[in-house]
Amino acid sequence: MSTPQPLAHAPQFDDPTQQRTAAVLGMWAFLVTEVLFFGVLFAGYAVCRWRFPDAFAAGSRHTDLPMGAIETGVLLASSCAAALALRDVQLGGRRAATRLLVLTAALGATFLVMHGFEYTDEYREGLVPGLRYTQDGPLAGKMEFFFYLYFAITGLHSVHVLVGVVLMLVMALRNARGRFRATYFTPVELAALYWHLVDIVWIFVFPLVYLVGRAG
């Protein structure tokens, strides 16, 4: 562990405050692009669901609701852990923060494993368009759109979770080495922002994929 150095900043900035402002604004800008990126898939979902409501309800009934609900809980808990980790870094609680960052990553990994099980089940049931789609019946054709979008949306989301897990582990490692302190925590803040976005996307995915059509 090193003694705390005076706050450094990159040469293009005048002071650490300017650097922090720029970094946080840049992260928010990035999150906006992510929203638009996912937005295309949600728009595609909206159009197809509006055109084929019955097929989408039928597709929804093929998904694993308990699994999806637990995954939602796991992700929400991980977001909470990320927020607490940031708070601990800001308050100077390094060891607690490291533990919480590792917990965030572990919960993210749990989510990925659970989703992996879901994908395996769906493959076995023949619900994967392009690879193994063995449904028949009057709604099977249109239901393929549901599963196409399901795999596109959750697949892309899982890639984001994976990136987040790696990011959180890197943050945990750097925090354990004493890189962050009460006056310098920008990278942790940015990683937490990213993690919350990934969480929020799932908050939209869960009802659209798992809940829609179950009531009717």
Partner 1 sequence: MRIPESTGSYARDNYLSQGRPGLRGWLLTHDHKRVAILYALAITGFFALGAVAAALVRLTLVQPDSQWISPETYDKSFTFHGIVMVWFFLIPSIPNTLGNFLLPLMIGARDVAFPRLNLFSWYLFMLGGLFTIATLLLGGVDTGWTFYTPFSTMFSNTHVIMAAAGVFVSGFASIVSGMNFIVTVHTMRAPGMRWFRLPLFVWAIYATSVVMMLATPVLAMTLLLIALERLAGVGIFDPALGGDPVLFQHFFWFYSHPAVYIMVLPAMGVTSELICCGVRRRVFGYRFMAWSMLGIAFIGFLVWGHHMFVAGQSMYASIAFSLLSFAVAVPSAIKVFNWLATMYKGVIDFHAPMLYALGFVGLFTLGGLTGLFLAAVALDVSLTDTYFVVAHFHYIMVGGAVMAYLGGIHFWWPKITGRLYSEPLARFAAILMFVGFNVTFFPQYVLGYLGMPRRYHDYPPPFQALNVVSSAGAAILAVAYLLPLWYLGRSLWRGASAGPNPWHATGLEWTTPSPPPHDNFPEPPVVERGPYDYRDP
* Site residues for partner 1 per CB under 8 A: 10-13, 18, 21-22, 25-26, 29-30, 32-34, 36-41, 43-44, 47-48, 51-52, 129-131, 133, 141-142, 144-145, 148-149, 152
CA atoms in the 13 A half-sphere facing the CB of 174: 16
CB of 67 to partner 1, least distance (A): 24
Q: Smaller CB distance to partner 1: residue 113 or 131?
A: 131
Q: Smaller CB distance to partner 1: residue 29 or 215?
A: 29
CB of 91 to partner 1, least distance (A): 27
Write the CB contacts of 158 (distance below 8 Å, at least 6 apart in sequence).
112, 115
Q: What is the CA radius of gyration of the chain?
A: 21
Q: Smaller CB distance to partner 1: residue 22 or 114?
A: 22
Phi, psi of 124 (to 5 degrees): -65, -35
Q: Smaller CB distance to partner 1: residue 91 or 159?
A: 159
Q: Smaller CB distance to partner 1: residue 105 or 143?
A: 143
Q: What's at 126, amino acid-wise? A: G
CB of 59 to partner 1, least distance (A): 13
CB of 147 to partner 1, least distance (A): 9
Distance, in Å, from the CA atom of 163 to the CA atom of 72, rounded to the nearest integer, reads 18
- Torsion angle of C-alpha atoms 162, 164, 165, 169, degrees rounded to 10: 140
Distance, in Å, from the CA atom of 57 to the CA atom of 73, rounded to the nearest integer, reads 23
CB of 127 to partner 1, least distance (A): 12
**CA 164 distance to own-chain centroid:** 7
Distance, in Å, from the CA atom of 142 to the CA atom of 111, rounded to the nearest integer, reads 29
CB of 45 to partner 1, least distance (A): 9
Q: Smaller CB distance to partner 1: residue 145 or 180?
A: 145
Distance, in Å, from the CA atom of 45 to the CA atom of 115, rounded to the nearest integer, reads 20
Write the CB contacts of 208 (distance below 8 Å, at least 6 apart in sequence).
42, 45
